[in-house]
Amino acid sequence: MAAIHTPALLAAGQPRPRNYPANQYAFRAKSHFLYFLGEGLPGAALLFARGTMTLFVVPEQPGDALWTGPRPTLTELATRHGVDSVRSIEDLPAALADAGANVATLPTEDAPSAAWLSDLLGRTVAPSTGNRLEDGTPDAALADALIAMRLTHDQAAIAQLRLAGAASASAHLAAMRATSGAKTEMEVFGALVGHLRSRGFQDSFAPIVSTHGEILHNETYEHALNPGDLLLCDAGAEAPEGWAGDITRVWPVSGHFSDTQRALYEAVLDVQLTAIAACRKGVRYRQVHEVAKRRTVERLRDLGIFRGELDGLLERGAAAVFLPHGVGHLLGLDVHDMEDLGDRAGYAPGRTRSAAFGDCYLRLDRDLQPGMAVTIEPGFYQVPAILSDDAYTGKLGGDLRRDVLAKYADVRGIRIEDDVLVTEGDPEILTKDVPKAPSEVEAIVRGGH
Ligand code: GLY
Ligand code: MN
Ligand code: MN
């Protein structure tokens, strides 16, 4: 409230019905709301006005006690959350009228909430991202205040991130162990999600469990597992208060990397360890991305996939041919934390995305500070649409050695991802409980069922 000088309203968001109102998709509150309350209450809102914080909740509806059980009373909620007061959402219009002019709020991708907020505030609240927030408006001030608070995590948040990291790691171990008894991606996916759910965690995003790791966000699970395949698993836990983990591991279905798979796996792992070591206080995250790109091209040149001088290869776009995404992103209550605000959170004022292929997907360009959590997730992908397109490979000519690359045909996609907390000293790996050294990974997969 001190930072924004206007009242502010944060909506939890509306539950989304499937075919009739009571049959709903799982509800997940907006993270800005969760940040303050720690509990996602469907349809609720927080009003910050006149120096007080008021929680407005949907009151008990007829039939609730029968169908879904009694709701907590307003007094119980006030005690649980320490807000100044709790009132019925029906009182919100009057409270807004009393709060004064220029009530700030945030854009939301949840269209019913955007419509509801527009109606309440008598102006258009965009159902989109904060890239369009106009500087100097109350909404932009609110976004900037939240960004300032959420960019670095306090001890309570760090405890939740550690919890999410450990649960994410344990779910990956379960998935590795389930592989030897599985015939399809679906079975490994089921083991992973079941492991999380049975321990009270949600998944923090739709898990990727795929033998086609070159499809970066492949969210289908229909492929059979064949002995020569690598399985890429990118999944994370959401801790009870909403905080996210995000891990990627890759393992051989058979429990044995081929020589070519191992060589590329070790290259990506070296890139990852190098990039993690660069995550120190004061370092610009774009620099970490550049470190990862350079090391990737260097390692691929060592393997003979590229030839030529390093700077020249990098200038000709060599890195993005095999690593066409950013090296990572902010992590917090969301897996791509605060991306609902567009690049306003990920990019420091005055910094903007590069137009270059690969770099254009870099989601974070801030100077790292103690308390920031980021992912580090380099990879190697053989994407047919990139390798067959002169727009991406043309400048490299024969320095991209396709004859050598052909020997690595048993690798479609590798990514290795950990969650890293920036500290005053060495980076803390929040997801260290799941091994990534190739022989350790093999042993876990083989020791499965
Ligand atoms: N799975 C989303 C990410 O790793 O960024
Ligand atoms: Mn990630
Ligand atoms: Mn991930």
Residue 249 CA: which ligand is closest? 3
Q: Which CATH code of 3.20.20.70, 3.40.350.10, 3.40.50.720, 1.10.150.20 fits the domain covering 8-150?
A: 3.40.350.10
**C-alpha 22 to ligand 1 mean position (Å):** 32
Average the pLDDT over 310-333 and give the result. 98
**C-alpha 417 to ligand 1 mean position (Å):** 9
Reported as a single tens digit per residue, the pLDDT across 16-32 is 999 998 899 999 999 99
What is the model's pLDDT at position 130?
Answer: 53
**C-alpha 189 to ligand 1 mean position (Å):** 16
Q: Which of 203, 216, 234 to mutate to test the pocket of ligand 1 (most atoms within 8 A of CB)?
A: 234
Residues with CB under 6 A from ligand 1: 205, 234, 246, 329, 335, 377, 417
Closest ligand 1 atom to 246 CA: 4
Average the pLDDT over 366-395 and give the result. 98
Closest ligand 1 atom to 208 CA: 1
What is the model's pLDDT at position 126?
Answer: 81
Q: Which of 172, 209, 238, 377 to mutate to test the pocket of ligand 1 (most atoms within 8 A of CB)?
A: 377
Reported as a single tens digit per residue, the pLDDT across 58-107 is 999 889 999 989 889 999 999 999 899 999 999 999 999 999 889 999 98
Q: Tokens 């499809």 — which residue?
A: 215
What is the model's pLDDT at position 47?
Answer: 98
State in words which class domain 155-447 has: alpha beta
What is the model's pLDDT at position 132?
Answer: 73
Q: How far apart are CA 448 and CA 382, in angstroms?
A: 29
Closest ligand 1 atom to 234 CA: 1
Q: Indicate the pairing of strand 45-49 with strand 52-57.
A: antiparallel
**C-alpha 449 to ligand 2 mean position (Å):** 29
- The confidence band for 449, taking pLDDT boundaries of 50, 70 and 90, is low
**C-alpha 235 to ligand 2 mean position (Å):** 9
Average the pLDDT over 238-263 and give the result. 97
Residue 219 CA: which ligand is closest? 1
Q: Which of 57-71, 235-249, 257-271, 346-360 has the lowest mean pLDDT?
A: 57-71
Q: How far apart are CA 446 and CA 176, in angstroms?
A: 9
Query: Residue 248: pLDDT above 70?
Result: yes
Cα 142 to chain centroid, rounded: 22
> How many CB atoms are located within 10 Å of the residue 449 CB?
8
Measuring from atom 1 of ligand 1, which residue has the nearest CA? 234
> How many CB atoms are located within 10 Å of the residue 75 CB?
9
**C-alpha 204 to ligand 3 mean position (Å):** 10
Residue 248 CA: which ligand is closest? 3
Closest ligand 1 atom to 336 CA: 5
**C-alpha 202 to ligand 3 mean position (Å):** 15
> What would you measure as the largest C-alpha separation in the chain, in angstroms?
73
Reported as a single tens digit per residue, the pLDDT across 397-427 is 999 999 999 999 999 999 999 999 999 999 9
Closest ligand 1 atom to 248 CA: 4
Whether the Cβ atoms of residue 446 and residue 255 lie closer than 8 Å to each other: yes
Query: Residue 134: pLDDT above 90?
Result: no
**C-alpha 234 to ligand 1 mean position (Å):** 7
What is the model's pLDDT at position 129?
Answer: 60
Closest ligand 1 atom to 377 CA: 4
> How many CB atoms are located within 10 Å of the residue 100 CB?
11
Average pLDDT, the chain: 96
Reported as a single tens digit per residue, the pLDDT across 322-350 is 999 999 999 999 999 999 999 999 999 99
Cα 440 to chain centroid, rounded: 26
**C-alpha 361 to ligand 3 mean position (Å):** 14
Query: Residue 234: pLDDT above 70?
Result: yes
- The confidence band for 131, taking pLDDT boundaries of 50, 70 and 90, is low
- What residues have CB less than 8 Å from 257, skipping those under 6 apart? 230, 265, 438, 442
> How many CB atoms are located within 10 Å of the residue 267 CB?
22
Domain ranges for the chain, please list them: 8-150, 155-447
Reported as a single tens digit per residue, the pLDDT across 144-171 is 999 999 999 999 999 999 999 999 999 9
Tell me if domain 8-150 and domain 155-447 are identical in fold.
no
Q: Which of 204, 336, 364 to mutate to test the pocket of ligand 1 (most atoms within 8 A of CB)?
A: 336
